[in-house]
């Protein structure tokens, strides 16, 4: 029997809930009472979810290079990171972590999207409505280095059986999407100081993520 898989692949589905405040503006603690996963579960309770995560430090720099329109530089990125960290820390003085992560005003004010890399906050919220067996979490680094391996995992997760040689060839020949533009590559990597600051910021969240997934690869120690 042939299987037809119907999917949706928006990159922001896991974390983008900025509209919640327009529907539930009477929240007393600043935390959203319902999120997108609650609505997905209501319509598709048996859905299977595939999440691909990248080292949050590298993800943030890539995000900056992709979305910033002018005057991009490693120094400018450093300044924007410092400002965003200060804004986030100020929020944490008065609100919970979860409230700050889903704070639309804060997210719009930060020059870089720090909150997107706080993967464990989002994952734990998804796990309140979906079983762990319904969510496959992969690392982008693993997919980039061994497409065959990750696609075998995906086929197994979706109960599609083994990948044929023809399917494998088609998958491995597909070009990568959203590769870094030449002009952005010329800017070079982020400053070592910036990387160190971001490593310190994301470390406790990566540690918790690795604990939830029982996989130390999500500590991103080798990247």
Residue 3 lies in a domain: no
Residue 97 lies in a domain: yes
DSSP symbols for 23-34: H-TT-SSS--S-
Residue 1 lies in a domain: no
The arithmetic mean of pLDDT across residues 9-23, rounded, is 87
Q: Say if residues 76 and 92 touch (Cβ distance below 8 Å).
A: no
Q: Say if residues 184 and 77 touch (Cβ distance below 8 Å).
A: no
Structural domain including 36 reads 20-219
Residue 2 lies in a domain: no
Bridge partners, 53 (sequence order):
139
- How far apart CA 47 and CA 36 sit, in angstroms, is 13
Report pLDDT digits (tens) over 50-104: 999 999 999 999 999 998 778 899 999 999 999 999 999 999 999 999 999 999 9
* pTM of the predicted protein model: 0.91
How many structural domains is the chain composed of?
Answer: 1
Q: Which residues of 90-116 are buried (b: 16+ CB within 10 A; e: fewer)?
A: ebeeebeebbbbbbeebbeebbbbbbb
The arithmetic mean of pLDDT across residues 15-29, rounded, is 79
Q: Say if residues 36 and 50 touch (Cβ distance below 8 Å).
A: no
How far, in whole angstroms, is CA 160 from its chain's centroid?
26
Instruction: List the CATH number of the domain containing 25.
Output: 3.40.50
Q: Which of 215, 196, 213 is nearest to 126 (CA)?
A: 213
Report pLDDT digits (tens) over 203-217: 999 999 999 999 999
């Amino acid at each position: 029997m042939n299987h037809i898989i119907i999917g949706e692949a928006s990159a922001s589905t896991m974390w983008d809930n900025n509209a919640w405040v327009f529907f539930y503006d009477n929240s007393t603690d600043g935390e959203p009472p319902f999120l997108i996963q609650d609505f997905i579960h209501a319509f598709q309770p048996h859905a299977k979810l595939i999440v691909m995560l990248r080292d949050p430090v590298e993800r943030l720099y890539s995000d900056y290079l992709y979305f910033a329109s002018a005057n991009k530089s490693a120094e400018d990125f450093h300044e924007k990171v410092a400002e965003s960290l200060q804004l986030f820390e100020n929020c944490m003085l008065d609100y919970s972590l979860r409230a700050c992560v889903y704070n639309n005003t804060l997210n719009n004010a930060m020059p870089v999207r720090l909150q997107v890399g706080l993967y464990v906050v989002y994952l734990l919220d998804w796990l309140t409505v979906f079983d762990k067996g319904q969510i496959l979490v992969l690392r982008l680094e693993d997919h980039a280095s061994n497409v065959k391996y990750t696609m075998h995992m995906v086929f197994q997760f979706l109960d599609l059986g083994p990948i044929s040689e023809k399917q494998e060839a088609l998958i491995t020949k597909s070009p990568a999407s959203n590769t870094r533009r030449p002009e952005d590559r010329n800017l070079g990597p982020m400053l070592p100081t910036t990387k160190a600051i971001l490593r310190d910021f994301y470390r406790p969240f990566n540690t918790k993520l690795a604990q939830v997934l029982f996989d130390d690869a999500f500590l991103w120690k080798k990247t």
